[in-house]
Amino acid sequence: MTLIETLARWCAAPQPFSERAKTLAREAITDTLACMVAGQNDFSTRAVSEAWRDSPRSAAQAALVNATAAHAIDYDDNFTPGMSHASAVLLPALLPVALAQNSSGAELIAAYLVGLQAQAFIGEATGYGHYTAGWHGTSTIGCIGSAAGVAALMGQDAPGIARTLSIAVSMASGVKGQFGTPLKPFHAGMAARNAVEAATLARTGMHGRLDIFECPQGFAELYAGTLSQPGWLNDRQHVIERVGVMPKKHPCCGSTHRILDAIADLQAQQLFHADEVEQVHCQVGIANWRNLAYPQPADEMQARFSMPYCVAVMLEKGALSVSDFTPQAVAAQSDAQKLARITMSHWTAEQENENAALPHTLTVTLKDGRTLRHSRWQAKGVLEEPFSEAERQAKFLDCCAYLPAAQALYQQLADLEQTRDIGFLRRMMVTSRPSLPGDA
């Protein structure tokens, strides 16, 4: 069988999911919904809402707007096997379909687990070279894998899911050169919309090549893939149990997070105060260095992709919040001289080729001559160092600060798997169509 047929057969009839897998999925869904609320007033979300203001709000259009919101402030989770912000595409693609067909909470969770496993499978089959070549995995791998989840939620059989996957391959796009602009969150919206449209189109019988990954001029060849045979589907444990999604502790690009957590580690030991810092140097991976392209950010979107800005705020406040990424906050914090003392370099290609698991290393030079060094191999939020319940709830409430009864909503989401009617989730979706500044 082709890669698509192998994946489609699994998606149509997966093994029963463990209680742990379902719990982790529910936590990821809750986290993504919070990010969706927090991103609703971002420029990118408002622009997408405005562009389709007069269009009927179909499931695909709802997926577009809500996935843009979920990724708008870059607070949504990372997923290493998919090279993606998996949930920001997957959940908004599933949600309008689930609501339209009156799916239960348990059915939504199951479809999420199918789509996440599909992203892992497609990501491993393609290989990391796809991401380092400049493709935005959120909008390429995310589109294809999420389409499988949507098709499974619709009740498609294996041939139908295979048709969906083939269609989605032709709809996968998005380049990393757009990082730091409003088009980056739009990539997530575009991927979610395309996932819904691929599954919808497949129901008509529309089809393409089932070997579109492997064939000449197929996905692997054109998208810098290495084309390996994934092993995820043969494992008893779901990928969410083995690797997990990585919720974000900080509302900014994940490439900054290990350094920010290293600062938090040193701050917890009370080894220095912000006013004692002379210079900070950050050593990160090559792909991370490329992602962080704004040493002197001009706006809040660039600030999320600026290591100096994020480090400066972390040093001063000991934490980063949604409120640190507004035009006013960036204008107040973006002092050129203050940011210039924070530098960044990357491991060499030879070093990364020799060892794929290199740490991110923080070096803090203090005014009294002392030098503090600390390395992190992972950011907070991985399976080995998960958020506490208090941390999950604090993030949810930070994101949903303006939402009425946010605390009660968080408790309601804790029972999602037992919920027959998920209509209450509409409260967290983008419903307004706000005008942009300058519009009549």
Q: Which of 82-96, 180-194, 423-437 is the least confident region?
A: 423-437
Q: What is the pLDDT of residue 438?
A: 46
Mean pLDDT over residues 32-39, rounded? 97
Q: Is pLDDT at 394 greater than 60 in this prediction?
A: yes
Q: Is pLDDT at 320 greater than 80 in this prediction?
A: yes
As a whole number, the mean pLDDT across the chain is 94
Q: What is the pLDDT of residue 391?
A: 94
Quote the percentage of the chain above a pLDDT of 70. 98
Q: What is the pLDDT of residue 433?
A: 52
pLDDT digits (tens, 9 = 90+) for 211-242: 999 999 999 999 999 888 888 788 889 999 99
Q: Is pLDDT at 434 greater than 60 in this prediction?
A: no
Name the pLDDT band for 47 (thresholds 50, 70, 90).
very high
pLDDT digits (tens, 9 = 90+) for 266-292: 999 988 888 999 999 999 999 899 999
Q: What is the pLDDT of residue 295?
A: 94
Q: Is pLDDT at 155 greater than 50 in this prediction?
A: yes
Q: What is the pLDDT of residue 356?
A: 77
Q: Is pLDDT at 362 greater than 50 in this prediction?
A: yes
pLDDT digits (tens, 9 = 90+) for 245-259: 999 999 999 999 999
Q: Is pLDDT at 432 greater than 70 in this prediction?
A: no
Domains and CATH numbers, the chain: 3-245+383-428 (1.10.4100.10), 254-376 (3.30.1330.120)
Tell me the residue type at 98: A
Q: Is pLDDT at 64 greater than 90 in this prediction?
A: yes
Q: Is pLDDT at 439 greater than 60 in this prediction?
A: no
For the chain, the three-class secondary structure string (H helix, E strand, C coil) is: CCHHHHHHHHHHCCCCCCHHHHHHHHHHHHHHHHHHHHCCCCHHHHHHHHHCCCCCCCHHHHHHHHHHHHHHCCCCCEEHHHCECHHHHHHHHHHHHHHHCCCCHHHHHHHHHHHHHHHHHHHHHHCCHHHHCCECCCCCHHHHHHHHHHHHHCCCCHHHHHHHHHHHHHHCCCEHHHCCCCHHHHHHHHHHHHHHHHHHHHCCCCCCCCCCCCCCCCHHHHCCCCCCCCCHHHCCCCHHHHCCCECCCCCCCHHHHHHHHHHHHHHHCCCCCHHHEEEEEEEECHHHHHHCCCCCCCCHHHHCCCHHHHHHHHHHHCCCCHHHCCHHHHHHHCCHHHHHCEEEEECCHHHHHHCCCCCEEEEEEECCCCEEEEEECCCCCCCCCCCCHHHHHHHHHHHCCCCCCHHHHHHHHCCHHHCCCCHHHHHHCCCCCCCCCCCC
Q: What is the pLDDT of residue 440?
A: 38
Q: Is pLDDT at 412 greater than 50 in this prediction?
A: yes
Name the pLDDT band for 341 (thresholds 50, 70, 90).
very high
Mean pLDDT over residues 19-46, rounded? 97
Q: Is pLDDT at 318 greater than 50 in this prediction?
A: yes
